[in-house]
Amino acid sequence: MLAGGGSAHAAPTIQAAPAVTDGGVVNNFPDGMVFSVHAESVSNITDIRLRYEVLPDGTAATARPQFAQAKSVDAQVTLDTYLAPGTVIKYHWEALAGSSASATDEATFVYDDTRFQWQVLDTDNLAIHHYSGSDEDAQKLHGVGVQALADAEALLNTQVPFGVNVWIYDSTDDMRPALPRTSPAFESQIITEGIKIASNTVLVLGGVSYDTLRHELTHVVTALAGDSPFGTLPNWLDEGTAVHAQQDPGGFGDAIEQAISRGNVLSVREIGSYPGDPQKVELFYGEAWSLVSFLVDTYGQEKFAQLFASVKSGKTFDEALQVSYGFDQDGLENAWRAAKGLPPAATQAPTGPAQQGSPTVTPRPSGDGGGTSTGTLIAIAAGVLVLAGLVGFGGITLARRLG
C-alpha cells in the first residue's frame, strides 16, 4: 500500500521485437530459387512471411514457410513456378513473436540462367545477353533491337519505362530449359525461335532472322500500349502490329494475297482470337498484317495509337474503333475489303472474348540477319492436341509470345 491508500501497479512488460535475418537466396535455375531466413525471440516465433514483388510489373505476393514454433527458427521458401531468366525479385522477410513483429531490409535477387557465362551489351534501354557468337553479332542485334523498340514506341505513342532484356541462346537444347514448361511430346515436335516471355524479356535463338527480334520486341510495346486490367487487344491487332514491324512479311503476305484473289478472306470479328484450324493460321497473320497496314497507311499513326489507348482504357473494341475511325469492326472490314477490290461482307454477329491458346503456323521471312526462310509456328500456349494437327506441315519452328 502507498501512503494515502493508493495501490501499486506493475509496469506493463514490453516484449522485445524478434530478430530476423535474411539468409540469402539459392538459384536453382531452371527449377526456381530458395529463400532462407533465421528468426529468434524471447518467446516463440509464431509467424514468418516472405513478401516479394516480381519486377518490373510489380506483381506482389506472400509466401509462408512451414516451421515448428520455437524461440529460434530457421526456415525456407522455395519458389518453383516458372520465371523468365533475368527476372528481378524484390523481397523482404517478416517475423512475428506474440504481438511484436520485425522485418528485414528490402533486398533484390536476379534469377539468372547460371548455366552459361553471359556477356552483356547494355545501352539505350536494351540489354543483349549472349554467351556465343561474336561481339559484332551482338552489336548488330542490339542496333536492330533499339531501332525496333523506337519504331514501335513512335507508332503507338508509348514509351517503354524499363530496360528490355534479350537473351540469345545458341541452340534449341540450350534454350528449352529457359522456356515455360510443356509436355515432352510438345517439345519433341517444335523448335522455338523467339518468344516474348515477360513484359521486359525476349528469348531468341542465335542465327535467326532479325525480323524475329523485331517481331518479339514489338510485342513488348503493344502490351504496354493496349493491354491493361480494363482491356485487352484483339489477337489480330497485336500480331498484325508485330508483323508490320518486320521488314518483310514473308509468307504472311503471300497468304493474304492469295486469299484476296480467291475472295475467301476471314472476317475481322473472326480473327479477334487465334484460329483453331491450322489451315487458316498463315492467313490469320497475313490478314492481321494487311489490316494493320491499311489502318496505318490510310489514317495515320495518331489514330492508330489512339485505338490502342482506347482499348487500354477499357472500351470495347467496337467502341475503340468508333472513337478513332468512326466505324466498328464491320465498318473496318468493309473499308479494308473495298481497298482490296472485294465486295462488302455479310454482317457478322459479334463474337465472344478472344480465346487464348490456339497456335498459328507461318513461314518465317528470310529477313536480313541470317537463317533461311522456314516454317514458323507462333503461339501463345499451343496445346499438344492442336499441335498434332500441325506436324504435317513439316519444318516447323516456333516463335511464341506469352501475354
pLDDT digits (tens, 9 = 90+) for 173-203: 999 999 988 767 666 666 778 999 999 999 9
Q: Let me know whether 97 and 130 are in one domain.
A: no
Torsion sign over Cα 266, 271, 274, 276: negative
Residue 361 has pLDDT above 90, yes or no: no
Q: What CATH number is associated with residue 338?
A: 1.10.390
Residue 216 domain boundaries = 119-401
Q: Let me know whether 266 and 179 are in one domain.
A: yes
Read off the pTM: 0.81
Residue among 53, 57, 39, 34 nearest 91 (CA)? 53
Structural domain contains residue 302: yes
Residue 353 has pLDDT above 80, yes or no: no
Where does a domain end: 77, 111, 145?
A: 111
Where does a domain end: 63, 91, 111?
A: 111
Give me the helix-helix angle, 301-313 and 317-325, nearest 10°: 150
Q: What is the per-residue pLDDT across 91-116, written as a single tens digit (0 to 9) for each? A: 999 999 988 999 999 999 999 999 99
* Mean pLDDT of all residues in 32-48: 97
- Which is more confidently placed, 238 or 371? 238
The one-letter amino acid at 83: L
Q: Let me know whether 239 and 356 are in one domain.
A: yes
Look at the chain and report how many structural domains it folds into.
Answer: 2
Structural domain contains residue 268: yes
Q: Let me know whether 106 and 130 are in one domain.
A: no
- Which is more confidently placed, 391 or 326? 326
Residue 16: what pLDDT? Answer: 79
Q: Let me know whether 204 and 105 are in one domain.
A: no
Least confident of 272-286, 340-354, 375-389: 375-389
Q: Which three cell numbers stand for residue 156?
A: 503507338
Residue 82 has pLDDT above 60, yes or no: yes
Q: What is the per-residue pLDDT across 263-283, written as a single tens digit (0 to 9) for each? A: 999 999 999 999 888 889 899
Give me the helix-helix angle, 210-226 and 235-244, nearest 10°: 140
Query: What band does 309 get if pLDDT is binned at 50, 70 and 90?
Result: very high
Structural domain contains residue 376: yes
CB-CB contact of 331 with 317 (8 Å):
no
Go through the chain and tell me how many residues it has. Answer: 403
Q: Let me know whether 187 and 85 are in one domain.
A: no
Structural domain contains residue 5: no
* Mean pLDDT of all residues in 275-295: 94
Q: Let me know whether 129 and 173 are in one domain.
A: yes
* Mean pLDDT of all residues in 142-165: 98
Structural domain contains residue 25: yes
Query: What band does 395 get if pLDDT is binned at 50, 70 and 90?
Result: very low
Quote the percentage of the chain above a pLDDT of 90: 73
Structural domain contains residue 137: yes
* Mean pLDDT of all residues in 113-136: 96
Q: Let me know whether 283 and 176 are in one domain.
A: yes
Structural domain contains residue 11: no
Q: Let me know whether 245 and 278 are in one domain.
A: yes
Residue 390 has pLDDT above 60, yes or no: no
Q: Let me know whether 188 and 145 are in one domain.
A: yes
Torsion sign over Cα 350, 353, 358, 359: positive
CA-CA distance, 52 to 92, in Å (whole number)?
7
Classified as helix, coil or strand, 62 is strand
CA-CA distance, 213 to 245, in Å (whole number)?
10
Residue 214: what pLDDT? Answer: 97
Q: How far is CA 262 from CA 103, 341, 347, in A?
A: 67, 11, 20
* Mean pLDDT of all residues in 47-54: 97
Q: Let me know whether 172 and 300 are in one domain.
A: yes
Q: What CATH number is associated with residue 106?
A: 2.60.40.10
Where does a domain end: 111, 145, 160?
A: 111
Residue 226 has pLDDT above 80, yes or no: yes
Query: What band does 207 get if pLDDT is binned at 50, 70 and 90?
Result: confident
* Mean pLDDT of all residues in 9-36: 85
Q: Which three cell numbers stand for residue 308?
A: 490502342
For cell 518486320, what's the residue?
Answer: 246
CB-CB contact of 218 with 375 (8 Å):
no
Residue 327: what pLDDT? Answer: 97
Average pLDDT, the chain: 85
Quote the percentage of the chain above a pLDDT of 70: 80
Q: Let me know whether 205 and 333 are in one domain.
A: yes
DSSP 79-142: E-S---TTEEEEEEEEEEETTEEEEPPPEEEEE--TTS--EEEEETTEEEEESSS-HHHHHHHH
Residue 248: what pLDDT? Answer: 96
Query: What band does 138 get if pLDDT is binned at 50, 70 and 90?
Result: very high
Structural domain contains residue 136: yes
